[in-house]
Structures are given as structure tokens and as C-alpha cells.
């Protein structure tokens, strides 16, 4: 796991943290909203993890109205083109990667 060098993270750090989360080396959390949308859209956790591991940033890292840093990552998994909305959270015990939503396309 790479150390937390700064927050907000650089795009390179964000990408690295997402890969680490996909590999189980950084905390990964699925929000309730993401779980509901994944079920509704028939998207599995393995597909999300594949996109986090190999996808590309399709919406640049930016700060939302709550002060969280987020971006979108897009890629292919199981024959589907998916976009995953990711929130990066800095906690006392390290940085977390939170899957906020997922949808087909983009």
C-alpha cells in the first residue's frame, strides 16, 4: 500500500489507490446506493473490481459540494462497458476507496 503523501490526491495517486483497492491492498467500500444500482443494472462486484483495476479515468478528479474527492473510471468487464463513480476518503486509518455508483456506458 502506498503511503498517503497528500490530500487531495493527485490523479496518479488516485489511480494507484483504486488499483490497490481492487487488489485488496487498500480499503474498498460499496455505498448502499452503489449496491442498489448494481443490483438494478445487473452489475457484479467482480466487474467493478475489474474496472477499478484496469479502467481509465473518464471524469477527472474533482471536489464535490461535500468536500469529497471523486472521479469516474470506465472500462470493460464481462462484455459490458461500465463506468464506476469513485469517492476517495481520507480517514485517520488511511485512505479509503468508495464505490458510489456504477452504470453501463460512457
Position 3 in a domain: no
Report if pTM > 0.85.
yes
Total domain count, the chain: 1
Cell 484496469 belongs to: 54
From CA 102, how far away is CA 51, in angstroms rounded? 10
Structure confidence by residue, pLDDT tens digits, 17-38: 999 999 999 999 999 999 999 9
Position 1 in a domain: no
Position 4 in a domain: no
From CA 39, how far away is CA 36, in angstroms rounded? 5
Structure confidence by residue, pLDDT tens digits, 35-68: 999 999 999 999 999 999 999 999 999 998 888 8
The residue length of the chain stands at 106
Q: Please state at what angle helix 11-22 crosses helix 45-54, rounded to 10 degrees.
A: 140
Strand partners, 76: 81
Q: In which domain, by residue range, is 91 found?
A: 11-104
Give the chain's largest Cα–Cα span.
38
Amino acid at each position: 500500500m502506498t503511503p498517503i503523501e497528500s490530500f487531495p490526491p493527485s490523479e496518479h495517486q488516485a489511480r494507484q489507490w483504486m488499483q490497490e483497492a481492487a487488489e485488496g491492498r487498500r480499503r474498498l467500500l460499496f455505498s448502499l446506493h452503489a449496491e442498489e444500482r448494481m443490483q438494478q443494472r445487473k452489475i457484479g462486484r467482480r466487474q467493478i473490481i475489474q474496472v477499478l483495476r484496469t479502467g481509465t479515468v473518464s471524469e477527472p478528479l474533482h471536489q464535490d459540494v461535500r468536500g469529497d474527492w471523486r472521479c469516474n473510471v470506465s472500462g470493460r468487464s464481462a462484455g459490458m462497458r461500465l463506468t464506476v463513480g469513485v469517492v476517495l476518503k481520507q480517514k485517520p486509518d488511511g485512505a479509503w476507496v468508495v464505490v458510489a455508483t456504477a452504470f453501463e456506458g460512457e
